Amino acid sequence: MNRFSFFDALWTQYLELTPQASAIQALFASNGAEVINDHVAFRTIDAPGLDLDTAVGCFESIGYTVFDTYTFPDKHLDALALCVPDDPSAPKIFVSALRRGVFNREIEALLDRLIEPANQPLTLQSFLGSYPFTKPSWPEYNALANVSEYAAWLSTMGYRANHFTVSVNHLTQFASMDEVISALKTAGYRLNTVGGEIKGTPADLLVQASTLADQVSFVFSDQHEASVPSCFYEFAQRFATEDGTLFQGFVPNNANAIFDSTARQ
Ligand code: NI
């Protein structure tokens, strides 16, 4: 599997759980826009074989290199950004991981039990839609979500693209993020409003917005069936640094709010 076949398979798999993404892409394309991915995001947990080091090894196999690191203390997350150094047109990868040892004993024991079957290290294939966990019960899911919506999302969705991100810089028919948001709202899409619809300012060199995640039905271990958040679509506009090139990193305050796109609604 090379980088191109990986992203083709990832996009196909993502659309199965995120129908809004194909509709939004069609909306942009109907205006004549070329839809280019700024980045794709993945989630995992700090445990042997599942941690950020393991994930990085998977992405290195298709040409990626880590170029920045971030921490999100409020959400108990660490994250890395990766790029393909010799191909700036490649989508960046943002991969985050839930910290362990920060929750109470009951939650830690629950996390231990849910991830216990994951005894094989992650591979690149794992990120194309895999679920190496034990399912939580409905009460366990809610207990997890009450301390970490991120953990609850991982406990139902497993490994897949959490979101793709449209490069607003390439949407030449939209002059600003405001216009993109206006088009999305006119078409009836619900946006993540945590920290405002637009996260960041041009002074941050990165402005972002995102939809709320689609919902899918999930059958819990106690046979309770409920709708849970699946995946969402993000929009990013980058601004030039002092040397005239577009900023390529991420802004922790923005990302902290974007994580909430998969919170229970
Ligand atoms: Ni993102």
Here the CATH number for the domain that contains residue 110 is 3.10.180.50
- Determine the distance separating the centroid of ligand 1 and the alpha carbon of 145, expressed in angstroms: 21
- Determine the distance separating the centroid of ligand 1 and the alpha carbon of 132, expressed in angstroms: 24
- Determine the distance separating the centroid of ligand 1 and the alpha carbon of 233, expressed in angstroms: 8
- Determine the distance separating the centroid of ligand 1 and the alpha carbon of 160, expressed in angstroms: 14
Instruction: Supply the pLDDT for residue 118.
Output: 67
Q: Is 229:215 a contact under the CB 8 Å cutoff?
A: yes
User: What's the chain's Rg over C-alpha atoms?
Assistant: 18
If one counts the domains in the chain, the total is 1
pLDDT tens sequence for the chain (265 residues): 999 999 999 999 999 999 999 999 999 988 777 899 999 999 999 999 999 999 999 999 999 999 999 999 999 999 999 999 999 899 999 999 999 999 999 999 999 999 987 678 999 999 999 999 999 999 999 999 999 999 999 999 999 999 999 999 999 888 899 999 999 999 999 999 999 999 999 999 999 999 999 999 999 999 999 999 999 999 999 999 999 999 999 999 999 999 999 999 8
Question: What's the rounded Cα separation, in Å, for the pair 82 and 101?
Answer: 26
- Determine the distance separating the centroid of ligand 1 and the alpha carbon of 189, expressed in angstroms: 18
Pairing verdict, β 65-72 and 225-229 = unpaired
SS3 of residue 41 by DSSP: strand
Instruction: Supply the pLDDT for residue 34.
Output: 81
Smallest CA-to-CA distance from 114 within 161, 156, 53, 79 is with: 156
Residue the block writes with tokens 């992650």 = 122
Q: Is 159:126 a contact under the CB 8 Å cutoff?
A: yes
- Determine the distance separating the centroid of ligand 1 and the alpha carbon of 155, expressed in angstroms: 20
State the pTM of this model. Answer: 0.96
Instruction: Supply the pLDDT for residue 145.
Output: 97
Residue 75 lies in domain: 3-262
The shares of helix, strand and coil residues in the chain, as percent rounded to the nearest 5, are: 40, 25, 35
- Determine the distance separating the centroid of ligand 1 and the alpha carbon of 107, expressed in angstroms: 27
